[in-house]
Structure 1
């Protein structure tokens, strides 16, 4: 099971998190209180590369990003993957692949919250998932990973809220057909990630606010989250 710790903004925390060996670390270039500039992202990754023996995969997070914005970041920051929210131009997947050697993570926003009644049968859910992913049919060859996240009306993701996990099997079926790994984000923390992993078949988890205290990364919470995921791996 893969783990991504997202929203790193300072060198000290970055190095502490990297020492815990998550599989991916995320830098937010979208509007957010965790947003970093291209210069800051470049410096953070450069410091990590020179100070750490093991560097997790570096992921840049973008929302409603245009080509100019992506170019400004990718020409400067040595990212290994880009995580895209609210893509309006699906041709941008191929455009990215033709210019940079990066993975593309396509984020799917789930509007159903964990607390709201679902009122949908499995067949309807799979049909909805298929429709939502239909835009990826012609560009799926340029997508490397699918990420489910709770819908945020402003930025697309990063809400810190749980979505209705009951939709996961429908998206997992479609992801399997596309031969793509499926990750989940949205409101995860050390207390609930075990429940998610024990109930649903996914390949990775992504966390940010769930490992924070007072809006800042809490290294104790990060360690606890990673330990919970690794413990699940040992049992399976």
Structure 2
């Protein structure tokens, strides 16, 4: 995807996971949060080592996160709750002896966002992720005001998430071009897609995913 990584999140069914993996996304996400219909309880099938298995957690304990990391051989953790910078630092220390573990910290956005809240996480997490603010965690199917990202003050690369489907392709390309013109093309690191590519929660439409991937 020409300098733009792809994360497909909310996977649940082993056969569907294997089908999605044939598209060679950069990340595949599994949600370890019981209050979502995409809660993952199964066994992850064998995936290409280049695909980073990512665990999504919401205010989970370090022990619970570490258990899932070891069990599923995760390469990244995505923190979707109110985790503090101190918590992220604690995880970073825990992961220090592991090979290439990444920490992604999520922030929910609607019509406005105070970017100053990112400062304490700088140098601790590997990436930020901006998702659409909703009543529940994840899967709103709605985008937020991406114009806000033009004021992004950080040097930490970020994932773009929240309601992304085939109709958002041109808007993503425009945002890519904006950062490219600012000589900051590396900041928009990845897109994270989920509910807009499902036939039911956790079951992805591989054909639609392939059409999306081919746009970039």
Q: What's the TM-score, normalizing by structure 1? A: 0.76
State the partner residue of 1:234: none
**Contact residue 14 and residue 48 of structure 1 kept, 8 A:** no
How much does 1:55 deviate? 4.1
Could you list the runs of 4 or more consecutive aligned residues of structure 1 that deviate by over 3 angstroms after TM superposition? Answer: none
State the partner residue of 1:103: 102
Question: Structure 1, residues 72-98: CA drift from partner, whole Å, max 9, x if none?
Answer: 322322100001112333222122122
Question: Structure 1, residues 189-210: CA drift from partner, whole Å, max 9, x if none?
Answer: 1221232222343221000011
How much does 1:182 deviate? 1.5
**Contact residue 164 and residue 196 of structure 2 kept, 8 A:** yes
Question: Structure 1, residues 88-127: CA drift from partner, whole Å, max 9, x if none?
Answer: 3322212212222320001111032xxxxx7xxxxxx7xx
**Relative contact order (C-alpha < 8 Å, sep 6+): which is higher?**
2
Query: In the superposition, relative to structure 1, how do residues 55 and 199 fare at CA in structure 2: closer, same or farther (>3 Å)?
Result: closer
Query: In the superposition, relative to structure 1, how do residues 214 and 73 fare at CA in structure 2: closer, same or farther (>3 Å)?
Result: closer
Tell me if 1:161 matches 2:164.
no
**Contact residue 150 and residue 186 of structure 1 kept, 8 A:** yes
**Contact residue 65 and residue 87 of structure 1 kept, 8 A:** no
**Contact residue 18 and residue 55 of structure 1 kept, 8 A:** no
Query: In the superposition, relative to structure 1, how do residues 135 and 159 fare at CA in structure 2: closer, same or farther (>3 Å)?
Result: farther
Question: Out of 30, 46, 53, which is 1:48 matched to?
Answer: 46
State the partner residue of 2:127: 145
Distance between the aligned counterparts of 2:199 and 2:93, measured in 1? 40
More helix by share: 1
User: For 1:25-36, what aligned pairs fall within 5 Å after superposition?
Assistant: 25-30=28-33, 31-36=35-40
Query: In the superposition, relative to structure 1, how do residues 55 and 88 fare at CA in structure 2: closer, same or farther (>3 Å)?
Result: closer
State the partner residue of 1:227: 214
Question: Out of 120, 134, 155, which is 1:135 matched to?
Answer: 120
Question: Out of 157, 165, 175, which is 2:154 matched to?
Answer: 175
Question: Structure 1, residues 36-82: CA drift from partner, whole Å, max 9, x if none?
Answer: 13xx2xx21xx224xx4x54111111112232432332232210000
* Larger Rg, first or second structure (1 or 2): 1
**Contact residue 4 and residue 206 of structure 1 kept, 8 A:** yes
